[in-house]
Amino acid sequence: MKILIVNGPNLNLLGRREPEIYGNVSMEDFLLELRNEFVQDEILYYQSNIEGELIDRIQQDDFDALVVNFGAFTHYSYALADCLKNIIKPKIEVHISNIYQRETFRQKSVTAAHTDAILSGFGLTGYQLAIRYLIK
């Protein structure tokens, strides 16, 4: 199975950005762990700080399932929500931190309604849990 992980703004800073919230492991290192754990599957990865580039990547349609962490776009991007609404493949939204314990504006996801599930607060393990669910 081909699983595409799409990360939004500032997630390229994992391991350096607010380690007390997001941990100290870089996404590149974590991707190596994921690919070693799920060797029978292909883990594709894309990150951008630009909303339209995220939409363009998701619409390429070269994957079987989708894991998204849109970062701050989660809370206000109706363009990404519309994009997800039109993707007829399994998809899970992941948040490293528990968005419901954060600032009020972070407690709403406009994109989650167009995913099959949401994982919030499991740290990077949320990506692993999402992939496990998608491949079963």
CATH number at residue 85: 3.40.50.9100
**Tens of pLDDT along 68-113?**
999 999 999 999 999 999 999 999 999 998 988 777 777 789 999 9
Residue 114 is assigned to a ligand binding site:
no
Please give the tally of structural domains in the chain. Answer: 1
Please report the pLDDT score of residue 14 as a whole number. Answer: 72
Q: 17-36: buried (b, 16+ CB within 10 Å) or exposed (e) per residue?
A: eeeeebbeeebeebeeebee
- Residue 114 among the catalytic residues: no
Tell me the percentage of the chain whose pLDDT exceeds 70. 100
Please report the pLDDT score of residue 55 as a whole number. Answer: 98
Average pLDDT over residues 3-18: 85
Of 71, 82, 62, the closest CA to residue 22 belongs to 71
At 46 the three-state DSSP class reads strand
Residue 75 is assigned to a ligand binding site:
yes
Listed in sequence order, the residues at least 6 apart from 1 whose beta carbon sits closer than 8 Å to its beta carbon are 41, 42, 64, 65, 134, 135
- Residue 22 among the catalytic residues: yes
Of 45, 76, 95, 127, the catalytic one is 95
Please report the pLDDT score of residue 11 as a whole number. Answer: 82
Residue 56 is assigned to a ligand binding site:
no
Of 22, 76, 100, 133, the catalytic one is 22
The answer to whether residue 117 scores a pLDDT higher than 80 is yes
The answer to whether residue 9 scores a pLDDT higher than 80 is yes
Domain range for 72: 2-135
Query: Which pLDDT band holds residue 49 (cuts at 50, 70, 90)?
Result: very high
